[in-house]
Amino acid sequence: MTPMTTPPYESRRDPHPAPRTPSEREAILAEPGFGVHFTDHMFLAEWTPDSGWRDARVVPYGPLSIDPATAVLHYAQEIFEGLKAYSHADGSVWLFRPEENAARLRRSAHRLALPELPDEWFLGSIRDLVTADRAWVPHGGETSLYLRPFMFASEVFLGVRPSKHVTYSVIASPAGAYFPGGVRPVSIWLSSDYSRAASGGTGAAKCGGNYAASLLPQQEAIDNGCAQVAFLDAEKHRWVEELGGMNLYFVQSDGSIVTPELTGSILEGITRDSILQIARDLGHEVVERRVSIDEWRDGTADGTITEVFACGTAAVVTPVGALKWDGGQAVAGDGEAGKVTMDVRSALVDLQYGRADDPHGWMRQVV
Ligand SMILES: *Cc1c(COP(=O)(O)O)cnc(C)c1O
């Protein structure tokens, strides 16, 4: 569905009448955690087939009133994005490749039969919310303001067809460093019974439904002392796809780096894409190809694979220590964070926090 009738982006601001006091805010920013505290404002806009996207506004953060028959509650027609605003040393606030999030939200919308949001609207919504809640962008360390754009079927009806009323919103949550005590490798559980996404399914779309399908295996991972789940392809149960919410990289003993090629059931991470470039900049050969679960298991055992890491916006780059399954485990290297992993991580984080040059023009200043 193309946004034929959507007007040029223009928003209004309805400031919070009673925002949190500076001291309340500072108390939250001192220990923000992840995804538990939200800023004073949120962004909202609505779509209908007749008027396209309209009514862009920054309003006080608060509950949405939802009719019990709202379509998303029944058929999960919902998509989302995740990106961060970074505070630089001079007090300016920046985004990392937000156009990529705008483009991915459009692709996800297409797959979920939701209306595409014009990039101008997406970028405007982010800019306006971050500007309104600029005081909520944490400073120092690897802290950030996590931004969560999302879109859902808000028509009140129980029929199975694409919704004719759609809501788009952005909320913002101050986030502390993902690894406050230093970067530590995580253990990953190999799901043998469950798949995340099948060929022809919604694996390449960033939709809540994919996450719903991953929660039972995720619980299994936790029960087995692991932080996250690794999913294999749904058909052969042989090819490594990704974690529940992060893409995977394998460092080879010859210094080359391999990541599973995009097959339509893997989410195209913006961090994944950026690392393809950053690793090349650091002098590594980077290969996108299929990686079998046997290669992961045997390669870590015989030393062909020296490091494994996962990547995504929230945790940036996370070293993977052990891969565990029912009856065994395979540990990459010595089980500690590897050098290539940490070099890639530093290169990316330094760029995002304005401590390194931006040779690819990826950073966008908001305020
Ligand atoms: C969001 C997401 C990622 C990571 O994407 P980034 O753009 O790097 O944050 C990876 N896998 C899944 C399933 C995701 O939803």
10-residue averages of pLDDT along the chain (367 residues): 78 97 97 96 97 97 97 98 98 98 98 98 98 97 96 96 98 91 91 91 97 95 95 96 96 97 96 98 98 96 96 95 94 91 97 97 97
The number of the ligand 1 atom at minimal distance from the alpha carbon of 242 is: 11
The span from the CA of 194 to the CA of 200, in Å, is: 17
Nearest-atom number in ligand 1 for the CA of 271 is 8
- Ligand 1 mutation target, pool 100, 248, 267, most atoms within 8 A of CB: 267
Q: Which two tokens stand for residue 147?
A: 């931004």
The residues annotated with a catalytic role in the active site are 206
Residue nearest to atom 5 of ligand 1 (CA): 269
Q: Quote the pLDDT of residue 342.
A: 96
Q: Tell me which residues have their CB closer than 6 angstroms to ligand 1.
A: 82, 206, 242, 245-247, 267, 269-272, 312-313
Question: Where do the domains of the chain lie, and which CATH numbers do they carry?
Answer: 11-175 (3.30.470.10), 186-352 (3.20.10.10)
Vertex 364: Cα angle to 359 and 367 (nearest 5): 135
Query: 12 alpha carbon to ligand 1 midpoint, in Å?
Result: 31
CA 21 to ligand 1 center in whole angstroms? 34
